[in-house]
Amino acid sequence: MESSKLSLTVPLILILCCTWIHITHCTTRLFGESNEDDKINALCLRDSPFEDQEYWNSQYGTVADTNFDENLISCIKTLDSSTVKTSTVETLRNGPQECQVIKKDVDTYVNCTSRNLKRIPSTNFPPQTTVFNLSDNGITQLPGRAFSKYNLLRDLSIRNNHIFKIDPLAFSGLSNLESLDLYGNKLVMNPVTMKNAFSDDVFAPLKNLKELRLNRNNPQPDDRALRYPDKALAQLSSLETLFLDGFKEPVFGSGFANLTRLKYLNLNGYKDGYCKLSGLKNETFRHMTSLEHLLIRNCQLQGHKIEAATFLPLKKLHFLDFSENQDINVQFFDRLFYGLQNTSTLKHLHMEFVVNLYTLGVCLSSKYIKYFPQSVEYLGVQNNKLECIDRNVIRKISKSLKVIDISRNNFIFGTYFLDFPELSQLTTLIIDGYLPVAHRLPKIYPFNPHTPKLDTENCSLYESDEITGPTQDFILHLPPKLKNATIAYASLKNIISKLTVDENNTLEDLSLPGDDTTAIRNFEYDVFICYAEEDRDFVLDVLNDALESRGFKVFIHSRDFTAGEFIGSNIVRAVRTCRRIVVVLTRALAESSWCGYEIQMANMESAHRGYPVLIFLLKDDMTDSEMGVELLYNVRNNTYVPFPPESDTSEESLRTLWDKLATDIRQ
């Protein structure tokens, strides 16, 4: 019997020794200098090292592989080794599954994602662990003191599990925890289930917690029994960022008044969480006076259920986004803005897609924006069926606006354009149109379009004196500080017979891709002449005189280049400040590298403007081989004008040539 016990013990000792040797040899250390950019953290560890599990698996194999350490090393070796100071990779077993430990500098990361875990691992991970990721498992409960061994823990993620119960002592010992992610569990916030997860003191140990994610836990957010656990949350006096599901007509209770550092609240629905607010009450945000960022996208918010003083307590609000609530509708904008009318802090206002998809064209009346906050600098009102605005909208809107994005609307021409100079601080205007978008067809037929009760009688495009007064030329006056305007894919098919733009403007870039409207831009010169030095006499004595006599302002490099400036810079300035570039094509030009550079810069300018700028004057009769492939390609893909043969240089022939060239320059 004694010998039998001994025979069993010896193999067991050998197995344990071999296991220790294997783990020891699996440990890999990499040495190098530290780097502020921290490429290893960004690409291999992803800040929270295994946040993007799908990406990691696709690039370096499944993390659960026994070769994980080799895969990580392969990733690290693809980076600049000077970015890594000290990293250690270890594989620790938790029963049949494996978790990985990565030590880098002073941080220790534990990855237990996607291990089919049913409970918190009992493995003794390093006590200095700072990041613990348990996402994408089947954990159902957090027992008492589950993490008490890791008092240096800063980041704990248990997202996408099945947690429905949290012991009141689950977070004991985590006084240094800064981020807790419980996204995508079963922590339903109704009175029956909440007592199992949100005891009043459950968060009490988390004295330094700054970010908490509790969204996507309530799949039926319109259940009127749902309540936020404000007594439990009240313990988080250091909390700055909070993600929650959005309940029907919510009220954030008195416990939130203790969250004096809370700056960011996200209630977004759809991909972020569950949200069905329906309405907002005057007391909804009464106890959240420190908020600076509020996001309530995709929350099925209805304009007529928003009470006027909803946002009145939010005196520090800096960023507000209630986009993709398509039943707010413009006639209820005054309710949204009433509580914000006296704010001085609100800078960013996002109102994309707040009008029903099937609404007929909307004219925005100034009566709906009479309370518009005057501190707003960015305004996004994309995709709202807007066709026009009345004459008083621009006059009443914020004079602090620097950026306006009114893309994916369908504006018609109106004299409200005359009020553009009122936008005295505007630098960027975006009026992009529609790219192809698929919408669901109505399920019921016949279908009645959504027709909101808009006060169209007060939405006037003209004032009385403009209708009865004398006619006058239309001059487009731009906002005095406007630098960038984009009108892409707006389905514009306008014929501009005459459009005068006030020359007192600061516009630097006008983009009209995808439209049939030709951009009109004021240029310092009409034409830049590209020529070889051997052809200088022809250019100065013949071509220049012919063009100037036809009213063109001509840029000639030997005369107009800035002395002391690099020739390359001079060429770029010439190309940008001239409407067209005329190339005097001769054999000498074909041999000139500087002329080739000028043609390249002209091609780049053509791409930037969206239309060709090159015109070739074929002075010498050259064969294809004399031109070369690149020059021949440019001639064939741009406008060219043949010079009359030497046998026909009569005054009439030259006059016809110059008239034809002048016409091409003006196009």
SS3 string of 275-342? Answer: ECCCCECCCCCCCCCCCCEEECCCCCCEHHHECCCCCCCCCCCCEEECCCCCECCHHHHHHHHHCCCC
Say if residues 199 and 172 touch (Cβ distance below 8 Å).
no
Tokens of 43: 């690409």
Distances (CA, A) of 403 to 350, 421, 425, 488: 12, 14, 9, 16
Say if residues 477 and 502 touch (Cβ distance below 8 Å).
yes
Tokens of 464: 């009385």
Q: What percent of the chain has pLDDT over 90?
A: 41
- CA–CA separation, 449 vs 441, rounded Å? 12
pTM: 0.65
Q: What is the pLDDT of residues 100-115, one digit of tens each?
A: 999 988 899 999 999 9
Look at residue 39 in the predicted model and tell me its pLDDT. Answer: 34
Q: Backbone phi, then psi, for 69, in 5-degree steps?
A: -60, -40
Tokens of 661: 């060239």
Which candidate, 427, 411, 407, 414, places its Cα nearest to that of 489?
407
Long-range contacts of 652-660 (CB under 8 A, 24+ apart): 654/546, 658/546, 658/547, 658/550, 659/550
- CA–CA separation, 134 vs 51, rounded Å? 10
- The single-letter DSSP state of residue 171 is T
More confident residue, 624 or 300: 300
Look at residue 23 in the predicted model and tell me its pLDDT. Answer: 32
Ranking 60-74, 173-187, 571-585 by mean pLDDT, the lowest is: 60-74
Give the end-to-end CA distance of the chain in Å, rounded to a whole number: 107
Distances (CA, A) of 184 to 147, 155, 218: 20, 17, 9
pLDDT confidence tier of residue 89, bands split at 50, 70 and 90 = low
Look at residue 92 in the predicted model and tell me its pLDDT. Answer: 52
pLDDT at position 561 over 90: no
Q: Backbone phi, then psi, for 77, in 5-degree steps?
A: -70, -20
**What does the pLDDT average to over 412-439?**
76
pLDDT at position 49 over 80: no
pLDDT confidence tier of residue 260, bands split at 50, 70 and 90 = very high
Tokens of 574: 């010439």
More confident residue, 561 or 500: 561
